[in-house]
Amino acid sequence: MRVWLRTWGCRANAYDTAQVDARLRRAGAVVVERAEDADVAILNSCAVTAEAVADLRQGARRAARERPGLRTIVMGCAAALDDGTLAALPGVQAVVAGGDVAAVAAVLGLPRDDHPAARQAEARATLRVQDGCDEHCTFCATTLARGANRSRPVAALVDEAARLAEHHPEIVLTGIHVGTYGRDIATSLGALLETLVVRVPGVRFRLASVEATELCDRLVALLRDGGDRVAPYVHAPLQSGSDPVLRRMGRHWYTAAAYARAIERLTAGRAVFGLGADVITGFPGESDADHAATIALVQALPFTHLHVFPWSPRPGTAATKLGDVPPAAASRTRAAELRALGAAKGAAYAEGRAGGTADVVVVRGGADPGGITEDYLSVSCAEPAARRTRFAARLDVRPDGRLVAHPR
């Protein structure tokens, strides 16, 4: 059996795809690079935006055209919310809700196999520590798709991380609502990360998206002073810098000021620290003044990159009933302004890193090797470097602004 895999969305989805990939290979299947070479396509879907779902549908139709007779399985968040539209796409054999890897394997007739992948396709491994979310953000369909928070046992995560560390120099901890890890099993994300650092030596750990106000003292200490074991980086969803908009979004657990205090506590006095955020524009009720508040907050905080996107109404979410939606043109203009601000702040930060040192994980080998620094900057490698290796570097900058990592 020849199988083509494609993933949309977040690192939690990437983790689930990696588990499907591992089961396929252990069962003797061949994973191919193109749909036209496959017998089966497995499409792991995202439901965050309408654009992501539309791209999924287009991808399924294209694959069916390129490979007549192709059998397609759709999994992931959009699959969990399917109203029959995905099931009706050409060639779709099954729609599997969420990240149910066992259900995908059952559709394919694979033998039962619950062993997690010890090696993933990406240079940096992903470790999903929990699934689901107990919050109810009014714009979010992911909670509907993934259900309540469910934390994985510490022992299982330590064992999986140790296996991944044999092949990957960095492990990214991910999930749907990572900051709530452990609430259901009497532990915490900070305690887990401390345990992983002690029990799994050598590898660099990185947190994926985590709420700024959910960073406990233990996590802050590790992120600020974790040496070469914990990357000084966090992607902390902001969504808006306006308190009225945050309330309409259902993000009741912080205000713009609380977010700012959490970030300042994390980054104060640190010259090297990567900080990303998600921001939504054009949310129902967002005014010019609300947008100005978001701009002011972004300007005030040391962001190194932003993920900005206009609000997209998702079926079944409360935001679709709020009304007072800004014109689409205004939403796009606001998004463009924030993206430009984020790009300028990121470029200034990267320029300031020139002449300094970095801890580089090589994510691209070959004739043009490149890597990722501890603070999540993309760099070119000045000398040949093998993918999945790690080295201490001195950073320089090319005339085009690209950072270059020279081995120290």
Element (H, E) at 171: strand 170-174
Give dist(CA 117, CA 21) in Å, integer: 8
Same domain, 322 and 368: no
Same domain, 154 and 274: yes
Same domain, 262 and 358: no
Same domain, 139 and 254: yes
Q: How many domains does the chain have?
A: 3
Question: At 399, which CATH number?
Answer: 2.40.50
Same domain, 183 and 222: yes
Q: Is residue 114 part of a domain?
A: no
Q: Which two tokens stand for residue 171?
A: 């492990």
Q: Is residue 116 part of a domain?
A: no
Q: Is residue 113 part of a domain?
A: no
Other Cβ atoms closer than 10 A to 93: 14
Q: Is residue 250 part of a domain?
A: yes
Rg of the chain (C-alpha set): 21
Of the three residues 44, 75, 108, the one that is the final residue of a domain is 108
pLDDT of 148 reads 93
Give dist(CA 382, CA 370) in Å, integer: 9
pLDDT of 113 reads 87
Collapsing DSSP to helix, strand or coil, 381 comes out as strand
pLDDT of 401 reads 82
pLDDT of 400 reads 83
Q: Is residue 115 part of a domain?
A: no
Single-letter amino acid, residue 312: S
Same domain, 181 and 93: no
pLDDT of 143 reads 84
Give dist(CA 279, CA 238) in Å, integer: 6
Q: Which two tokens stand for residue 169?
A: 């120099």
Structural domain harbouring 134? 125-352
Same domain, 275 and 346: yes
Q: Is residue 40 part of a domain?
A: yes
Of the three residues 352, 369, 396, the one that is the final residue of a domain is 352
Q: What is the pTM of this model?
A: 0.94
Q: At what angle do helices 256-267 and 288-300 cross, to 10 degrees?
A: 10
Same domain, 290 and 302: yes
Same domain, 278 and 297: yes
Q: Is residue 104 part of a domain?
A: yes
Task: List 150's β-bridge partners, or say none.
Answer: 131
pLDDT of 331 reads 97
Same domain, 213 and 229: yes
pLDDT per 10-residue tile (average), the chain, 408 residues: 96 95 95 96 95 96 96 96 96 95 95 91 97 95 91 98 98 97 97 98 96 96 95 98 98 97 97 98 98 98 97 94 95 98 97 97 96 98 96 93 94
pLDDT of 144 reads 87
pLDDT of 399 reads 84
Same domain, 222 and 320: yes
User: Residue written as tokens 């990957």?
Assistant: 168
Question: At 79, which CATH number?
Answer: 3.40.50.12160
pLDDT of 383 reads 95
Q: Is residue 279 part of a domain?
A: yes
Same domain, 212 and 188: yes
